[in-house]
Chain A
Amino acid sequence: MSKTVELPRWIDVGALPLLNLLLALVVSGLVVLAIGENPVQVVEILLYGAFGYEEAWGYTLYYTTNFIFTGLAFAVAFHCGLFNIGAEGQAYIGGLGVTLAALYLDFLPFPIMLVVAMLAAMIFGAAWAYIPAYLQARRGSHVVITTIMFNFIASSLMVYLLVNVLRPEGSMTPESEQIAEHLRLPFIHDIAGALGIEMASSPLNLSFVYAIVISVMVWLFIWHTRWGYAIRTVGANAVAATYAGLEPGRFIIIAMMISGALSSFVALNEVMGVQHRLLIDFTAGYGFVGIAVALMGRNHPFGIFLAALLFGMLYQGGAELSFEIPTISNDMVVVIQGLVILFTGAMEHMFRPRVTKIYTSWRLRQDAGEAA
């Protein structure tokens, strides 16, 4: 075999994902061309829709918040070698926790309620992730299949609950009662307004700040705690972890429960922050986007933040796009999302051999130059 040089870190975590992302966007551009629209114009509208005015920023960051949560959720499980496809269901059930807490404990003052609601979301989300985790750890059933199944079970369960149990009397729409006014998360524009800063109103609320705090906490957890180290060890090599005295099953369960808890925070943003009630399918695919976000962000909280921002932009810009160009619907964003997952996730190794070859020959030539 020919001599190769190890790729430096900036190529590995920076240039290669960017190259793959670029390819995904180029193919998306071809799709736009194929359906008879102008890709340049599409990009312009997309960018304007996402960042062009103050309100757009608010929406972009509001979507970003959800993607940070689900991206982190996928990443934590992934560090343990697990594919948590179930963020969608876990977020959904987490929403049930938040709603129940807010509806039945509405006498609590806001600060206490906030903590209670967070705990309720975490417990519900983690509990929903616990079953697949337990089954994987103790009975060997594959977490990918079980979490997919649990998404569907959650969906059926929630339809049942919303139609038969939580629906207020006399209402025809399957959604819960509104949560009390004083229990809602403040909008960023309200906070800014109270501080004397004029801001366009948008669904962006306090949970965005919380998402950033959580990102830092996840970073600390994964790279600077004993459990985080154990989770990464199990993920890297479960057999070696066993010889090192770790019990993989235990950390599989821990990682999945943390993952479920992180997914459930989507409900904080959606139920407590924006909708103020439990809606059918309020998770709207955020759980699946989380997979793309985590893969693109290389499972690092900072990368996840950037990737979440990109998808927040695509979501908000895509909404503007479907408004401006009738032949392009929101589905364009779904297509881009699929291509991003395909190229940055499934085909991440596609360019590696070529890039390694180019880099190697460049290095060898440089070394030769230095020697001469």
Chain B
Amino acid sequence: MDTFQLIILLLDATLRTSTPLILAALAGMFSERSGTINLALEGMMLGGAFSAAAVAFYVGSPWVGLLAAIATTIALSLLHGFACITHKGNQVVSGMAINILMSGLTALVGIALFAQGGKTPALDKGSRFQPITFPGADAVQDVPVLGLIYSELLSGHNILVYVAFLAVPAAWWVMYRTRFGLRLRAVGENPGAVDTAGIGVVAMRYRAVICSGVLVGMSGAYLSTAQGASFLQDMTAGKGYIALAAMVFGKWRPFPALAACLLFGFLDAAATRLQGVVLPGIGEVPVQLVQALPYILTVILLAGFIGRAIPPKALGRPYVKER
């Protein structure tokens, strides 16, 4: 296999591994831009993945599974909102609680429903999202360079991959070009001013966490019905936190967050390929180091060594209306 083909395959894998991160990072962005910390991404993703796989198994359609995942994550978002926005509870604690709760609940319900040790039964072809082959992909396969890029890299992914990449410009447009986006950003920066302008802070924040729920639901469904073919216990394995890290890395903005997700996805894809490979001059790179790189990079970024990441001003502060 020549180097070019290797690179294409690596990038191809990158697109697949970064898809759930992109959706979840955008989800985190909507919530956090409105001032609500969303540490619950991990747990919501898990809940979404479970609902998608379970419902897709019963109904036999990945689309219904996707809807179930979104319904689940919206419900969890509302729970998070109820604790953080309505009851002004601690947002970090609520997020952690949802993560722990979903880690247990998905396994428990999984065992109760399917008795397979927390797994859901394997989904058949019709209940999963299938790869979409672009027109003429096979025909151009042998064209040098472009053929491979078109047929391998761009074609042959499932719908959710394309949705994730389209969601980035869409999120940007909503965030920066609509009235809703303007208000959403404003409640995260200065809720008092928004309130003075006669816009309900609580309602805005609820809308933001619902947007967050829709996106993270797709991310969960992707894991269990597109990338995989069933739900496995704790299958998110920290992806929610990685997405959060990517969002911070992208400074709470859609396109930089996409770049961070691609970087983290690339590291993930590379880690699998680097196993046991000896690099010239460096020696064997420990896989664990590559796996830890997203976290290390995020810490370095947060410390301000790669530019400053300034969170929304009102992030983490419940809004108390003055009387």
Q: Identify the A interface with B (CB < 8 A).
A: 1, 31, 35-36, 83, 85, 131-132, 135, 139-142, 144-146, 148-150, 152-153, 156-157, 159-160, 164, 288, 291, 295, 327-329, 331-339, 341-342, 345-350
Contact = CB atoms under 8 A, between A and B. Distances in A.
A295 B93 CA distance: 9
Nearest to A140: B304
Contacts of A345: 89-90, 93-94, 96-97
A359 to B, nearest CB: 19
Contact of A145 (B91, B298, B304): B298
B92 interface: yes
B109 interface: yes
B118 A141 contact: no
A335 B111 contact: no
B42 to A, nearest CB: 10
B49 to A, nearest CB: 16
A346 B83 contact: yes
B118 A331 contact: yes
B295 A338 contact: no
Interface in B210-245: 238, 241, 244-245
Report which residue of A85, A332, A342 has the largest number of chain B beta carbons within 10 angstroms of its beta carbon. Answer: A342
Given A139-B303, A146-B299, A153-B292, A334 B100 contact: yes
Interface stretch (B5-13, B65-73, B142-150, B283-291): B283-291
B245 A149 contact: yes
Contacts of A335: 101, 104-105, 108
Contacts, number: 151
A346 B118 contact: no
A23 B108 CA distance: 20
A164 B286 CA distance: 9
Given A333-B104, A338-B98, A346-B90, A149 B84 contact: no
Interface in B240-264: 241, 244-245, 248
Interface residues of B, number: 50
A153 B105 contact: no
B100 A139 contact: no
B100 A288 contact: yes
Contacts of A339: 97, 101
Contacts of A148: 39, 241, 244
19 contacts: A35-B108, A36-B112, A83-B93, A132-B299, A142-B311, A145-B298, A149-B298, A153-B292, A160-B288, A334-B100, A334-B107, A335-B108, A338-B100, A339-B97, A345-B90, A346-B89, A347-B82, A349-B87, A349-B89
Interface of B: 37, 39, 79, 82-84, 87-94, 96-105, 107-109, 111-112, 115, 118, 238, 241, 244-245, 248, 286, 288-289, 291-292, 295-296, 298-299, 302-304, 311, 323
A67 to B, nearest CB: 14
Given A152-B241, A156-B289, A141 B304 contact: yes
Given A156-B292, A164-B286, A347-B83, A145 B104 contact: no
A338 B101 contact: yes
Contacts of B97: 338-339, 341-342, 345-346
Contact of B92 (A83, A131, A334, A347): A83
A139 B108 contact: no
A351 to B, nearest CB: 10
A157 B290 CA distance: 11
B89 A338 contact: no
A140 B308 CA distance: 10
A149 B87 contact: no
B318 to A, nearest CB: 10
Given A35-B108, A85-B96, A152-B238, A141 B115 contact: no
Contact of A31 (B83, B94, B108, B245): B108
Given A149-B245, A332-B108, A334-B104, A327 B115 contact: yes
Nearest to B106: A331
A111 to B, nearest CB: 37
